Structure 1
Amino acid sequence: MTDTQSKTAPAATTPPSASSQHRALSSVARFGTLAVLVLMIIGFGLASPDAFMSQRNLINVLNQGALLAIIASGLTFVLVVGQFDLSFANVVSLSGIIGVGLMQRSGWPMIAAIAATLVIACLVGLFNGFLVSYLRVSAIVATLATSTIVLGINFWYSNGVPITVPSGAFTDIARGRIIGIPTPIIIMAVILALLWVVLNRTLLGHHSQAVGSNPTASRLAGVRVGRVTVVAFVIGSLCAGVAGLLLAARIGSGQVTAGDGFLLSAFAAVFLGASVLRDGEFHILGTFVGVLIVTVMNNGLSILGAPSFVQYIFQGVILIAAVALSTTSRRILGMQRK
């Protein structure tokens, strides 16, 4: 056997390379979430074609997911910089209570009440960012404490009862339509587009991603890590504030528990989206796909008459699967870089 034969002969029996396996697994991780969404649509469509696949219901799915998408896109910014926020659900409730309360109890004009509410939401994010960035408090502990404080403010301001608002200009924000499209869908599209541009086309976005990848290296490179982190928390709270106002306009009242249902759903959507077309990276487009999965699942189960507890169980399962998929994607990416 020649030297050339001795070198090439083993190649015929060599198993697929590790890099090929990694690429295959990476493809599954990247496109698996999209495949799940498509399979869910097909499954619910076959189970209830007249109800689920109707144009009215498909628009309803987007309308139902609009508020979740706004909240989850803000949460995406916080996760991009490597932090967590557990306070946004109560910020959603706070915004509805304060916004409606200023209009109904204090007689503020609608625009002034909305502006003041959004400022308050930003202040909550500023407080979270200060605790995490400058006092070095763990993000989970800091935002959990802030959430408790905000909950107390909600009970104090509302006395624990809903603050209602009559139908009018404010409720039309969430119930109205523009060229036949529900207003929340249009607001969602504008916010998602703006945040996508900020995250992918601005210096703030590049710095945010750098901080999330390696805060120490970012600091040495001249990035103001603390300031970037604070801005991320402010953006997250601002989005929660917008969603809270829209929710209050939709249901016609500000309520202490209005935002509770968004906590698990938002995290599930963001972690599901982290593996969409990317290897475990949080991004706006992926978050929107994650929102669609959560919303389609809830909508489809409701149409099929599933009890509400089933939706909560599925959301928990989806969150576990989403975190596992995101972690696997990051591990695969780390292997490929070695």
Structure 2
Amino acid sequence: MTTGDRTGMVAGRPGMAAVLAALRGGGASGPMRLLSTYGTLLALGLMIAVFAALEPGTFATYRNFRNIFNDMAIAAIIAAGLTVPLVGGDFDLSIGYVASFSGLLVVGLLSDNQWPIPLAVAAVVGLGALIGIVNGVIVSKIGVNAFIATLGTGTVVVGLNYAYSGGIPLQLSHGLSFTDIALGRIVGIPHLVLIMAAVLVLLWVVLNRTVQGQHIKAIGVSAENARRAGIAVDRCRIVAFAIAGTCAALAGVLMASNLGSGQVAAGDGFMLTSFSAAFLGSAALREGQFHILGTFIGVLTVAVGNNGLAMIGAPIFTQYLFSGGLLVVAVALGGIGRRYVRG
């Protein structure tokens, strides 16, 4: 593979020459490199083709795809936030718990304390950012492994969740227009889809068009080399965790708006979904690299699979088998890609 072809794939703009070069890679390396770069897109295209053939009158329609994008919007927001620390080489296992607590808290502030909607939303999203900052400080300043630190922080958040709610869902009884945030539409496009698009574009710009984003990428390659180059590694890692916490809290707020209530564990499952999407995305257009566009494709792949299974009347357990199997495949594809990048 030529330097130009490799650069084209790393930059996320692979052309036909890059595909042909990957196929001509020789032995098993060519197909495996191609799989690690286009595996998710191939899987997505195959699923769409199969489900469209099985249910042409219901699956392959504008209305159904609009529903898919609407249903995946909250997952895409939290997964995109997770992608930022992943780019920097860190994990955040607290995001699902933060989303659950945020949904409960915003409903409580609106119903029990009768806060104005903008103030309640801003306070909850700010709390999510603060939790992210705490994660970043524990990881970067104290030196605790990100896996352990964020799992511990997430467990503390679960405790706060139950302390605040008593383990009982909270119903929205004041500020009923709060549900318009998630359920409203503009020219037929759901608010959730528009918010998702805005968040994804903003995070893409942060990671690809700002100095901060370039520093986070450099840390993900080698934190020690980044430090030697004069990059404020600790500050960048804290910012990355703050972004993840902010997106998790925003997702929780949107989830509560969509449901019209605060559920104790409604966001917990987003952790698995987000990691599945991010790792699937690392096998979309790039060789094992986390990036916002890839994460969006990963979330879309999961959403299309679940939607298609529901359309054909598959038992509910198949969705769990699909999600778990997808995570294993995603991690495998990402590992293959990173192996070739290092090679």
User: TM-score with structure 1 length normalisation?
Assistant: 0.92
- Give 1:30 shift: 1.0
State the distance in 2 between where 1:80 and 1:210 align: 9
What does residue 115 of structure 1 align with? 122
Q: How does 1:116-195 map to 2 (within 5 A)?
A: 116-166=123-173, 168-195=176-203
State the distance in 1 between where 2:144 and 2:317 align: 35
Q: Which amino acid aligns with 1:199?
A: L
Pick aligned residue for 1:29 from 12, 24, 36: 36
State the distance in 1 between where 2:154 and 2:336 align: 30
- Give 1:26 shift: 1.9
CA deviation profile, 1:44-78 (whole Å, cap 9, x unmatched): 11111111112111100000110111010000001
What does residue 314 of structure 2 align with? 306
Q: Number of residue pairs matched?
A: 320
- Shift of the 17–77 alpha-carbon distance from structure 1 to 2, 3 Å rule, reads closer
Q: Which amino acid aligns with 1:214?
A: S
User: Does the residue aligned with 1:30 lie in a helix, a strand or coil?
Assistant: helix
State the distance in 2 between where 1:62 and 1:111 align: 25
Q: How does 1:262-273 map to 2 (within 5 A)?
A: 262-273=270-281
| Contact 2:23-2:34 at 8 Å conserved across structures | no
State the distance in 1 between where 2:25 and 2:122 align: 53
Pick aligned residue for 1:204 from 212, 226, 230: 212
State the distance in 2 between where 1:64 and 1:122 align: 24
What does residue 3 of structure 2 align with? none
State the distance in 1 between where 2:24 and 2:178 align: 58
| Contact 2:99-2:252 at 8 Å conserved across structures | yes
State the distance in 2 between where 1:146 and 1:25 align: 38
State the distance in 2 between where 1:107 and 1:207 align: 42
CA deviation profile, 1:195-234 (whole Å, cap 9, x unmatched): 0011001001100000010000000000011100000000
State the distance in 2 between where 1:50 and 1:219 align: 56
What does residue 281 of structure 1 align with? 289
What does residue 251 of structure 1 align with? 259
- Shift of the 63–96 alpha-carbon distance from structure 1 to 2, 3 Å rule, reads same
User: Does the residue aligned with 1:73 lie in a helix, a strand or coil?
Assistant: helix
Relative to structure 2, which stretch is displaced further, 306-315 or 269-278?
306-315
Q: Which amino acid aligns with 1:176?
A: G
Q: Pick the structure with greater CA Rg.
A: 1
Residue 225 in structure 1 maps to residue 243 in structure 2: no
User: Does the residue aligned with 1:331 lie in a helix, a strand or coil?
Assistant: helix
State the distance in 2 between where 1:192 and 1:19 align: 34
What does residue 13 of structure 2 align with? none
CA deviation profile, 1:6-44 (whole Å, cap 9, x unmatched): xxxxxxxxxx99954544432232112101101100111
What does residue 19 of structure 2 align with? none
What does residue 96 of structure 2 align with? 89
| Contact 2:78-2:248 at 8 Å conserved across structures | yes
- Give 1:274 shift: 0.5
State the distance in 1 between where 2:43 and 2:23 align: 28
| Contact 1:25-1:332 at 8 Å conserved across structures | no
Pick aligned residue for 1:49 from 41, 47, 56: 56
User: TM-score with structure 2 length normalisation?
Assistant: 0.91
CA deviation profile, 1:291-336 (whole Å, cap 9, x unmatched): 010000111111122222211111110000000000001111222x
State the distance in 1 between where 2:32 and 2:329 align: 16
What does residue 4 of structure 1 align with? none
User: Does the residue aligned with 1:85 lie in a helix, a strand or coil?
Assistant: coil
Question: What's the % identity of the aligned pairs?
Answer: 48
What does residue 224 of structure 2 align with? 216
State the distance in 2 between where 1:80 and 1:161 align: 37
State the distance in 2 between where 1:187 and 1:211 align: 29
State the distance in 1 between where 2:212 and 2:227 align: 14
Residue 39 in structure 1 maps to residue 42 in structure 2: no
CA RMSD, 1 decimal: 1.5
| Contact 2:23-2:30 at 8 Å conserved across structures | no
| Contact 1:280-1:327 at 8 Å conserved across structures | yes
- Give 1:241 shift: 0.7
| Contact 2:182-2:191 at 8 Å conserved across structures | yes
| Contact 1:269-1:289 at 8 Å conserved across structures | yes
